[in-house]
Structures are given as C-alpha cells and as structure tokens.
Amino acid sequence: MNTTSNNHFWKKDKEHFIHPYTDYATFKDEGSQVISKADGNYIYDSNGHKMLDGIAGLWCANIGHGRKDMADAIHQQITKMQYYNPFGHTTNEPAAELASKLAEISPGNLNHVFYTCGGSTANDIALRLVHYYNNLRGKPNKKKIISRNYGYHGSTYFAANLTGIHGTKDCFDQIAQDLVSHISAADMYRRPAGAENLTEQEYCNFLAAELENRIQQLGADNVAAFIAEPIMGAGGVLVAPEGYHRRCWEICKKHDVLFIADEVVTAFGRLGEWVASKEIFDYQPDILIVAKGINSGYVPLGAAILSSDIYDVISKPQSDGGVLSLGFTYSGHATACAAALKNFEIIEEENILENVRNLGPVLQDGAKELLTNPIVGDVRGKGFMLGIDLVSNKDTKEPLNVASRVFTKCMERGLVIRPIVNLIVISPPLTLTENDVQALLQIVNESIEEVYQEVS
C-alpha cells in the first residue's frame, strides 16, 4: 500500500525498520503506509486521509487516541518521576496504586501483580513462575502446559511456543517443545472431525473431554497449566460453545492444573466487563494475563496477576539468603503505571464499559446482516470484538482469502479493519458512538459487496 511514496518517512522506514508480522513479498517494493496522527476514534495517514480506527491500534487503544487528559497525566508523572528502579524493596507510587487497583478489579484472590512490558513477556514470566511454583511445591515433574491450536500468546521464544497458530513458526526454531501440548481450538464454525453435527452442548462436552484426555495421556503429575483466551483473538475471533471455559476450569481443578486466562485482548472493557473470565464466562483463573487495554497502549505495559495461593508458595527466598530472581528494568514503570491509573479513571468516569454493553449488540447484530452476502460464511464475536469469515462456498466453508482486498476498499472509504487471510477482524476503540458503529457497518458492507462482485 504505497500511498506515501514521496514521503521521506516512508523511505527511511522501508530501508531500516523491520516490522512485526510483515509480508516481505511486497514490503521491499511497497513499504508501509505512514500513520501520522490519531485523534479520538480516528487516525490520519501522512496524506491527511482520515479513517475510523476499526482496530483500536491493535486491540489496545480502548479509550481512543491522542487524549489530552491522558497526556497531562503522563506529563505530570514524568516531571515528578519518570522512572525508578523497582528491584528489591524499592517501589514507586503509581506501581503500588495500580497493583492494588488491579487486585480490586480482578476476580477472587487474584491479588498479586508481576509487571512486564507487554503480553508476550507476561506469558513468559507466568510460565517461569508456574514452573518455579511447582518446584517449590515439591512437584518438579509438573511442568507441561496445554495450549490450543490457533491460540495467540505472543512472540518471545516461549510465548511463541504456546501459540497455536503453527504457520507463524515455519522456519523458526522452537525451544522446549516437549513442554507444550496443543489441543483443538473451540471453533464453533469449523469443527474438528467427528464434531461437525453435535449440538452446542455436545460439542462443549467433546472439547472438554479432549482436554481431560490430554491431561490423562500426559499424566496429571506432569501437567502444570492450561492457557486459554476467553475469546480467541488473532487466531480467528473464535467464540467457544456455551459453558466451555467453566468445564475446562473444572477439569483443571480436578487434576491440580492451573488455569491461565490470557486476557491481553479481552480485559478492561472489550467485552463490556473489566475482566471477562469470571464476569462473562463464570470461571476463576489462577493467573490472569493482561496488557494492551491496561493503559490503552499509551505506554507499553503488561502484567501477570497471580492468585494468593500461588503467591504464598513463591514469596519465599529462592535459596538460603537468595532473592526471587526474575524481573525487568521496566517492571512497574512509573509512567506506564500512571497511564494505567488514568486509563481506569477515564473508563469509570465516561461509563465506557456501559458503552460497550450498549453498542456491542448493535455492532454484532448489524454485522450478522452481512450473512446475506454469498461470501460471508460466519459472523462471530462479542462486545467490541468481531470476526467476519469469508468463504467461497457456504456449504463447504472453504476460506476465501480476500480479506486484504476488503481491507483496501475499507481504507479507501475511511475505515481501518484487520485482514487475516480470509478473516476480517474488527476491534475498535471502546469510545465509538452509535454513528461510528453504523458508519463502520456500512463501509464493511459496501466493501465486501464490491469484492463479491469482483470474485463472482
């Protein structure tokens, strides 16, 4: 997408910036679209083209872009104390305040916060701590992690291992592969063999049985944790059958397996609640992984929030006279934490969770109307998390890999969506108005229709 070839940022970027998740078949010629400005629910490219941000940056700009109140809070913290060493017995005011706030809004006894720099590092740290926890409990063999195909858990070495979008690992090495075991995704639309004609309840039982069988095959004494997103994001906006997470959680409890909820996308309002696991899906994670919406992406921050049961075991000297030896220079970064506190204040003051509860159904129901288009096979999601699955044949559900064409047409009409092969992902700022939702739906509808006309 070379809309800015005369722009010197475009050239410098193309020559020097190794972008995450970039298609090098086209990047070296086309470079990138430079986004120069972001304001509220809109972004602007370097040609001044204004677009509704249908993906909140990357599932993160929950309170919208470029807010002065947020900038003031960040400025205030920087001029007071931008950062100080968090190691050992030193802390800072925003990190302490935020840890207490996170404990308050996290369900049950999720009372202890380990700060990281994003979601991948939060998953990595969680897994190191889970292994440490089992070592200290005298269960040194209890180390394997069950994850799911199509789950996305990040891009550090171990988080990539957890990730079940296996194509992303082609030609890369993997470490400690024997520690991770993947089971089926909870995919209502494209189900595994043998599950095609089951009712929703039967399918839930089928998936739960797969988890339990896998724990038994590996040996419960060898399985440390199960990790799952409440709704799979990057893997396809996959909404599990009713009761699935609760059943998996019960199985985990039965076998002394920790349940890690990766809520990097879903926490802090995307589904209309602070935390989706308990409020929406009725289970109590042992570890909650958060990032992105924690401060709406204004400053990088993530966290692994641990139960008191885990904390009680790990909060001991690592060895005689030793310290718990893991952490980052930027764990509990004062400015990032101050941004998170301001983010929560804004969400509360502006009733942003209510906005998602009110407009989520408008977005989801409106999108369901796209199903009349012959290339729209499935529309799924919840709150402000939406996936539109494009197919060449509704009976066979054969994926139609034209999402990038829809993306281009949406962009021309003033909307950014995220194309993933045959899937259109929509995850807008939680501050969208009803007019924004209607405009978004209209643009998506027109763009899909135009692509349909081209391919039929």
Q: Which residues sit at the interface with ligand PLP, rule CB under 6 A?
A: 118-120, 123, 152-154, 229, 233-234, 262, 264-265, 291, 302
272/366 with CB nearer ligand PLP: 272
- Cα 123 from Cα 277, distance rounded (Å): 17
Q: CB of 289 within 8 A of CB of 263?
A: yes
Torsion angles phi and psi, residue 126, rounded to 5: -60, -45
- The nearer residue to ligand PLP, 370 or 416, going by C-beta atoms, is 416
Nearer to ligand PLP, 261 or 314 (CB): 261
Integer angstrom CA distances of residue 238 from 149, 335, 382, 425? 11, 34, 10, 11
**Distance (Å, rounded) from C-alpha 267 to C-alpha 274?**
6
Among residues 315, 284, 277, which one has the least CA distance to residue 112? 315
Tell me whether strands 50-53 and 42-45 are parallel, antiparallel or unpaired: antiparallel
Closest approach, Cβ 70 to ligand PLP, in A, equals 19
Cβ-based nearer residue to ligand PLP, 52 or 125 = 125
Cβ nearer to ligand PLP, comparing 3 with 296: 296
Return the amino acid letter for 5.
S
Which of 266, 297, 263, 245 is closest to 60 using CA atoms? 297
Amino acid at 336: A
Tell the smallest beta-carbon distance from residue 260 to ligand PLP (Å). 11
- C-alpha dihedral (196, 201, 203, 207), degrees to nearest 10: 180
Residue nearest to ligand PLP (CB): 119
Q: Which is nearer to ligand PLP, 57 or 366 (CB)?
A: 57
Phi/psi at 331 (nearest 5 deg)?
-60, 125
What's the min distance (Å) between Cβ of 349 and ligand PLP?
26
Min dist. Cβ of residue 266 to ligand PLP (A): 8
What is the rounded distance in angstroms from the CA atom of residue 269 to the CA atom of residue 345?
13
Cβ atoms 377, 392 nearer than 8 A: no
Cα 173 → chain centroid: 24
Q: Which is nearer to ligand PLP, 285 or 302 (CB)?
A: 302
3-state secondary structure of 182: strand
Q: Min. distance of Cβ 89 from ligand PLP in angstroms?
A: 28
Comparing CB distances to ligand PLP, the nearer of 51 and 56 is 56
User: Which of 223, 290 has the CB closer to ligand PLP?
Assistant: 290
Smallest gap from residue 237 Cβ to ligand PLP (A): 11
Q: In the bound complex, what is the minimum distance in angstroms from residue 155's beta carbon to ligand PLP?
A: 6
Tokens of 41: 């629910």
Taking the complex as a whole, the smallest distance from the CB of residue 300 to ligand PLP amounts, in Å, to 7
C-beta of 86 vs 151, nearer to ligand PLP = 151
The helix (run of H) or strand (run of E) holding residue 199 is: none
Distance in Å, CB of 153 to ligand PLP, minimum: 5
Q: Is 38 left (phi over 0), alpha (psi -120 to 50) or beta?
A: beta
Nearest distance, CB of residue 130 and ligand PLP, angstroms: 16
Give the amino acid at 256: D
Q: Please, is 325 exposed, middle or buried when counting C-beta atoms within 10 Å of its C-beta (0-12, 13-18, 19+)?
A: exposed
